[in-house]
Amino acid sequence: MSLSIQNLTASIGDQPILKGLNLEVPKGEVHAIMGKNGSGKSTLAKIMAGHPDYTVTGGDVLMDGVSLFSMEEPDARARAGLFLAFQYPMEIPGVTIANFIRAAVQARLPEGEELEATDYYANLYAKMDALKIARAFTSRSVNEGFSGGEKKRCEILQMSMLEPKYAVLDETDSGLDIDALKIVSEGVNALRSPDRGFLVITHYQRLLDYIVPDKVHVMVDGRIALSGDKDLALELEARGYDWVTEDALATA
Amino acid sequence: MPAIAEETEKPNIDIDRSVGDFSYKMDYAFDAGVGLNEQTIDYICDVKKDPDWVRAFRKDGYRKFLEKPMPTHWASHDLDNIVFENIRYYLSQGVTPSRSWDDVPEEMKQTFERLGIPEQERKYLAGVEAQFDSEAAYSNIKAAVGEQGVIFVGSTEGLHKHPEIFRKWFGKVIPSSDNKFSALNSAVFSGGSFIYVPPGVKVKHPLQAYFRINAQNFGQFERTLIIADEGSEVMYMEGCTAPKFETSTLHSAVVELVALKGAKIQYVTVQNWSANVFNLVTKRGLAHEEAEIKWIDCNIGSRLTMKYPGVIMKGRKARGEVISIALANDGQHQDTGAKMIHAADETTSNIVSKSISIGTGQSTYRGLVDIPPHRKGCKNNTECDALLINTNSRTDTYPAIVARGNKNACQHEASVSKINAEQIFYMQQRGLTEGQAMSLAVNGFVNDLVREFPMEYSVELKRLIDLEMEGSVG
């Protein structure tokens, strides 16, 4: 059981972005992808989630053996258990967080089955308590006027309510101060489980002090150039990315 | 006995997509035939046993209808596609509505049951009138409300039984000559409600009318007159549906409201016309001193809707309000707005309009706010927000605010926003289908206005928006 990315190539327009990417995240593990801006990290996240701007030109992504690309619509992949925590979560004016998550939970129920409101709110409030989110939060419009920290906490709350099999966290640390980073990381750690895999995309090693990964991968020019354990992140922090880039180019 | 069309005998599994899309084959007892001339009007007068003054009123309306040009110098040229000689102007099974659902002819009763009217009546309404083509099939008011002296009957019964009130106000707020379609309505009006609320009486629950078009090539011309006497309060709600026919249908109502000193009238419309209906309606209220008239108007469906509810504030401290939501789906045009005439000092008006345009749908806002130079202490607030869904959508805003003089305050805000692909992608990533995502975004856009609707209607409105959005995704 894993999220298995196999020789994935993809482009935007005529521009190739992923150039044969291989990566396997076994269920129960947390893997980190690090890399310079423009190396294709966020693109990978969007392609897996089914963003319409990108074209997959080759390879496959198997989620517990089922090809993500066999599910055309992004919502089908989401309901099958893939969650993407966005780097820049979108605002949805007039739609409260409570109603938004409720619609998402409802969308996972079989046709004709209606979500029980009292059960839903009991569950929502329990999850919010665990993430130290005040009750008043639920009546605010999704991401509208939120601080960076609030947006990311809202993403984690959605993740905890939707209970995905695999979660991709795209630059979750961007825009967070150290306190917010700790809270968000605690939330993610609380959701670590043998039944769930994480792919954490980040630019900085800092996040990995709080969300300690099982493996670290370095992405260079649309491919994984180097993989290692959590100490690789520290090495990258100390030495920068350029030495990996040179190695990657040397072996290409 | 009239035969029920075969396709309606078995329950239609698609029924929830468009609850109003069904029709019954009827043999009408009274049918004015196709086309409009003096004889058509005489036929209607004879069937309805109109008094002479009404016959004269109709004939005068007919002349004005013929004289007036189509307003295509400012309005949509689609109006030219209405073929008046192909329309049927009067169809009924009789002019007297039943007081009990048991006495309503079977097909009509089934129609209203499918639309949920008797159930709503039991649950939360003070009175109901259910109009089927030209006449009300059912009209009743709860005993407790009737005992307070509240009159709630059809326009025909109103003019026959209560001429002293009816005649005093009828055609006074909206003269026949107001526009081509108010003139047409004056010529052939039938059905609609007449309501009188005595001084100081506050009707707790809403009175509701339901306007149902069943016949093809038909024109529905209801005429509603509501008079709230001093210090009284009433809420009136109307719903409208028609089946989808190949040919176009005309709905052209005139609604006049009179709120006497300190009275309050709320008029709520949730229309869900099928895409073949020309909906050309004139609505206006007259607010006396310290009176308040509020139009809550929700326009979904129709081929072309032209409707600009207005309030003439003729007494000091009168208030007028128009809250409107319009949703123009593929091929539809919602041309809506509001008119606020400040005819006295210290009068206040508020207009909040939200429109949604989808696909080739087109929304137009037309507003008129008039504050003459010698007025003092008048206030107007106008907000129009438009939401566009996909690049073909079109929205136009024509706010005319004429505030002459310097002792008044006006405020105008307008915005246009789009649901962008990134928002839809974000919601889809949470598991919502594209249709569900759009529906949620649209509901979010109108959310603050929907709160103004009575509970039952806001649920209905949300459901209608869901259906429209589901249907609009390819």
Q: Do B444 and A95 touch (CB under 8 A)?
A: yes
Amino acid at B372: P
**For residue range A93-139, what is the model confidence (pLDDT) as tens digits?**
999 999 999 999 999 999 889 999 999 999 999 999 988 889 999 99
pLDDT tier at B7, thresholds 50, 70, 90: very low
CA distances (Å), origin B381, targets A200, B47, B340, B351? 50, 47, 10, 6
**Residue A21: predicted pLDDT:** 96
- B444 contacts in A (CB within 8 Å)? 92-95, 141
Alpha carbons within 13 angstroms on the beta-carbon side of residue B20 total 27
Q: Do A51 and B425 touch (CB under 8 A)?
A: yes
> Chain A contact for B388, CB < 8 A?
no
Average pLDDT, integer, range A132-154: 92
Q: Do A100 and B425 touch (CB under 8 A)?
A: no
Mean pLDDT of chain B: 89
**Residue A251: predicted pLDDT:** 61
pLDDT tier at B471, thresholds 50, 70, 90: low
Q: Do A78 and B445 touch (CB under 8 A)?
A: no
- The residue with tokens 């007081």 is B99
pLDDT tier at B11, thresholds 50, 70, 90: very low
Helix (H, G, I), strand (E, B) or coil at A207: helix
- The residue with tokens 């005529």 is A14
Q: Which residue of B has its CA nearest to A109?
A: B431
Centroid of chain to Cα B210: 10
Q: Do B445 and A93 touch (CB under 8 A)?
A: yes
**Residue B173: predicted pLDDT:** 98
Pairing of strands A141-142, B394-403: unpaired
- Is the confidence at residue A63, as pLDDT, over 60? yes
**Residue B13: predicted pLDDT:** 29
Helices (H), B194-245: none
Residue A204 CB-density burial (10 A; 0-12 exposed, 13-18 middle, 19+ buried)? middle
Selected for mutation to probe chain B from A42, A46, A95, A158 (highest B CB count within 10 Å) is: A95
- Is the confidence at residue B169, as pLDDT, over 90? yes
Please state, in angstroms and rounded to a whole number, the distance separating the CA atoms of residues B174 and B183: 10
Q: How far is B423 from chain A (nearest CA, A)?
A: 6
The minimal CB distance from B430 to the residues A73, A93, A158 is found for A158
pLDDT tier at B14, thresholds 50, 70, 90: very low
Could you tell me the two tokens for A62? 């198997």
Q: How far is A48 from chain B (nearest CA, A)?
A: 10
Range of the domain at A64: 2-251
> Chain A contact for B436, CB < 8 A?
yes
Size of interface A-B (CB pairs under 8 A): 81
pLDDT tier at B167, thresholds 50, 70, 90: very high
**For residue range B248-301, what is the model confidence (pLDDT) as tens digits?**
889 999 999 999 999 999 999 988 888 889 999 999 999 999 999 999 999 998
Q: Do A94 and B428 touch (CB under 8 A)?
A: no
Q: Do B426 and A90 touch (CB under 8 A)?
A: yes
Q: Higher model confidence: residue B66 or residue B390?
A: B66
How many structural domains compose chain A? 1
Could you tell me the CATH number of the domain that includes residue A226? 3.40.50.300
Percentage of chain A exceeding pLDDT 90: 77
**For residue range B301-321, what is the model confidence (pLDDT) as tens digits?**
899 999 999 999 999 999 999
pLDDT tier at B448, thresholds 50, 70, 90: confident
Instruction: Show the CA angle centred on residue A125, arms to residues A123 and A130, nearest 5°.
Output: 95
Please state, in angstroms and rounded to a whole number, the distance separating the CA atoms of residues B341 and B400: 12
Q: Do A90 and B422 touch (CB under 8 A)?
A: yes
Q: Do B431 and A104 touch (CB under 8 A)?
A: yes
